[in-house]
Structure 1
Amino acid sequence: MLFLSTFAFAQTQNPTQPVTQIPATETKAEKQINLTLEGMIGISVGDGIVGINVGGPSLKLKIKDFKIGVGAFPSLIIMDKKAVPRLAVSPIVEYKKWMLITPYYGYDSKDKMLWTFGIGYKFR
């Protein structure tokens, strides 16, 4: 073992052989955790209704910077001076970070359809 280490030392000290240098390679540390906040928040208004909507699951077709689709919006609607949680379904037209939405909340106690129209902002 002593002989091998001496031989290796002698090889590196030989001035007649050209010294080859191995270029240093930079290694980037990979992120183990990537925490982001993704979603949409929107405000929509209708006939005596104000809706505060957050983006849920959606299906969209992307055409350049535009996206067209449909999605579910967990919402808090304010009507008759009460705040009521509802799940809305809405067509979506999205351009970059802005969305036009028309949430449908179902029917009220008088069998009236509850629709609103609004705008949303997508963050991330």
Structure 2
Amino acid sequence: MKIVVKTMVLLCVLQGALVAHAQEKTTDVVVVPPTPPAPEKKFEAGFDGMLAVSYGSETLGINVGGPSLKYKFTKNFKAGVGAFPSLIVQEDGKALPRLAVSPIIEYKRFMVITPYYGYDSKDKQIWTFGLGYKFI
């Protein structure tokens, strides 16, 4: 009986020592250095959800947003180049689908574009100038 009591006391003492040792280990604080904020992207590529109307060279163009590549100068001001699927109406009154390539100047949701459509049937280059609004 004395051996059982001594064994029980010894086990209690060992258990207390192990718990105290474990508590000492868990109080260690690991300092993680703060991560710096991710740098803001200056270039952006994607599709513009925009609608624009342009006029020039006796041509009216209705342009929708296509793929673009832009450089972000500030949060609200960007400049770049894009391709715009368009519907052009020339002096003869026929509406033709054309793909335009244009430089873009964007401020907030408004865009200034100068679409180039290539050549017409008279070997004359078709350039227009227009304004657009970005929905997306």
Which amino acid in the other structure matches residue 117 of structure 1?
A: F
Measure, in 2, the Cα distance between the counterparts of 1:55 and 1:67.
Answer: 15
TM-score scaled to structure 2, two decimals?
A: 0.63
Deviation string for 1:32-84 (max 9, x for gaps)? xxxxxx60000000121000000100000001111100000000000121000
The aligned residue for residue 60 of structure 2 is 50
Which amino acid in the other structure matches residue 72 of structure 2?
A: K
Deviation string for 1:63-115 (max 9, x for gaps)? 11111000000000001210000000000000000000000000011110000
Measure, in 2, the Cα distance between the counterparts of 1:75 and 1:110.
Answer: 20
What 5-or-longer segments of structure 1 have no aligned partner?
1-37
Give the greater-gyration-radius structure (CA).
Answer: 2
Measure, in 2, the Cα distance between the counterparts of 1:47 and 1:53.
Answer: 16
Measure, in 2, the Cα distance between the counterparts of 1:113 and 1:47.
Answer: 8
The aligned residue for residue 111 of structure 1 is 123
Secondary structure of the residue that 1:110 maps to in structure 2? Answer: coil
Which one has the bigger helix percentage? 2
Q: In the comparison of the two structures, how many residue pairs are matched?
A: 87
Which amino acid in the other structure matches residue 67 of structure 1?
A: K
TM-score scaled to structure 1, two decimals?
A: 0.68
* Percent identical: 70
Measure, in 2, the Cα distance between the counterparts of 1:71 and 1:48.
Answer: 22
* Divergent runs of 4+, >4 A: none
Which amino acid in the other structure matches residue 51 of structure 2?
A: I
